[in-house]
Chain A
Amino acid sequence: QQQVKQSPQSLIVQKGGISIINCAYENTAFDYFPWYQQFPGKGPALLIAIRPDVSEKKEGRFTISFNKSAKQFSLHIMDSQPGDSATYFCAASVVRKELVFGKGTKLTVNP
């Protein structure tokens, strides 16, 4: 049973465009929703995270939108750059418990 569903599997965006990745979860006990960025051969790096009492969080070009009633959250990357090309994972957890990851989205930003 996949508890966190992520889409799309891959995404191609032009430089300067907006990249949008979506995730949906099933377990209403989840109370922490991070996004990780992973480059080939590297471990995942925490990008931005949100708690369910907030509907949106912005850090630089990265924004998380959170819809508690729909059990969905998304990552928006504004002004996408070639250096943003990586695999992005959404995740969810109960505090002090394990992270449950989506299957990942491979983002390619063309120059």
Chain B
Amino acid sequence: ETGVTQSPTHLIKTRGQQVTLRCSSQSGHNTVSWYQQALGQGPQFIFQYYREEENGRGNFPPRFSGLQFPNYSSELNVNALELDDSALYLCASSPLALQETQYFGPGTRLLVL
């Protein structure tokens, strides 16, 4: 087990709605990254937070936003949901001592109807 947990496990939304996904990592993991994994594809980088500040962003529109909290938890918010947002959303955290290593949570499966 990586110690990275995500909630909820599954979620169904309709187009145009907003969604918040949550991630909790281990103590000492000060970097958190979010990835989107479409069916049959590799994970795609959304953004990364380091010490509560955004530290890089992939090719995703501004309606994807995030937060990192002092207690090592993080949120991914997606506004104005589109059908193509249906995917597995993965959170990954990195320990302070091994910054290159990213440990993934089990993911949240989002279905947009």
Contacts and interface: CB of A to CB of B under 8 A. Distances in A.
A93 B104 contact: no
Contacts of A46: 101-104
B70 interface: no
Contact of B101 (A42, A49, A97, A101): A49
Interface string A82-111: 000000010101011111111110000000
Interface residues of A, number: 24
Nearest to B94: A96
B8 interface: no
Interface string B44-55: 110010100001
Contacts of B94: 96
Given A45-B2, A89-B42, A101-B42, A95 B100 contact: yes
Interface string B81-113: 000000010101010000111111111010000
Nearest to A93: B100
Contacts of A45: 2, 104
A32 B90 CA distance: 20
Given A44-B90, A103-B41, 7 more contacts: A32-B100, A45-B2, A46-B101, A49-B101, A99-B33, A101-B43, A101-B44
Interface of A: 6, 32, 34, 36, 41-46, 49, 89, 91, 93, 95-104
